Amino acid sequence: MSLKDIETAIENLSPNDFAAFRHWFAEYDSRQWDEQIERDAAEGRLDSLAEEALKDFREGRCTEL
């Protein structure tokens, strides 16, 4: 199935089916994002960002709400 086929199928959904699709896609997208963040964290890709944030906090460049 091509992207164009998917677009056409979505355009032809009933309002109820489109609402269900939007809900499904939002959940799917969130899961994909969460999995990517977990992989990046496990592989150390976020370590430098965490260290930078901790350094800023220790040096008083952050505030707590």
pTM for this model (two decimals):
0.67
The helix (H) or strand (E) run that includes residue 17 is helix 15-42
- Rg (Cα) of the chain, in Å, rounded? 20
Task: Give the model confidence (pLDDT) of 9-64 as tens digits.
Answer: 999 999 999 999 999 999 999 999 999 999 999 999 999 999 999 999 999 998 77
Q: What are phi and psi of 61, to 5 degrees?
A: -95, 15
